[in-house]
Amino acid sequence: MTDDIAISVFPLLVGTLYIVLGIPLALRKVRRNHWYGYRISRCVMDYDAVWYPVNERGGRHMVIIGLILVCLGIALTISPPGAYEGFFALAASFLIVGMGTLLSWVICLRMAWKIAESSGLKVR
């Protein structure tokens, strides 16, 4: 029983963390810095014209990933004990986090290059 609870708590906690960290980015409240945000390319770090749009989109991606994880956690919490295999539930959580984050990173990197190129900014 405690394993079932632990398995459902993991996606709830990670999903909540993604939502809490993603909202300020999506609302463009985070200034350029070296600690927090989508720092995926040098052009993102060097120019506000690239930083804010890229981090807005990345923040929205984080919120979406977080919402999916929270929904998974809720579904695991309300499902009857033993109705699922714990390994598969954790694997699904890690897959959502890993693939969602990787996809978000690729989308935001391409967006950063496109904005930098169209603005005539120097991309290293």
Residue 29 forms part of a structural domain: yes
Task: Average the pLDDT over each of 6-10, 24-28, 95-99, 113-117 and give the range with the smallest value.
Answer: 6-10
Say which range, 13-22, 63-72, 86-95, has the weakest mean pLDDT. Answer: 86-95
Tell me the residue range of the domain where 60 lies: 2-119
pLDDT bucket at 82, cuts 50 / 70 / 90: low
The owner of tokens 């694997």 is: 91
User: Is residue 114 included in any domain, yes or no?
Assistant: yes
What's the total number of domains in the chain? 1
Residue 124 lies in a domain: no
- Are 55 and 30 in contact, with CB atoms under 8 Å apart? yes
Confidence of residue 15 (pLDDT cuts 50, 70, 90): very high
Q: Is residue 87 part of a domain?
A: yes
Query: Model's pTM, two decimal places?
Result: 0.87
Q: Is pLDDT above 60 for 63? A: yes
pLDDT band at residue 64, thresholds of 50, 70 and 90?
very high
Report d(CA 98, CA 31) in Å as an integer.
26
The per-residue pLDDT for range 33-53, each reduced to its tens digit, is 989 998 888 778 888 999 999
How far is residue 28's CA from residue 108's CA, in Å, rounded to a whole number? 15
38 within some domain: yes
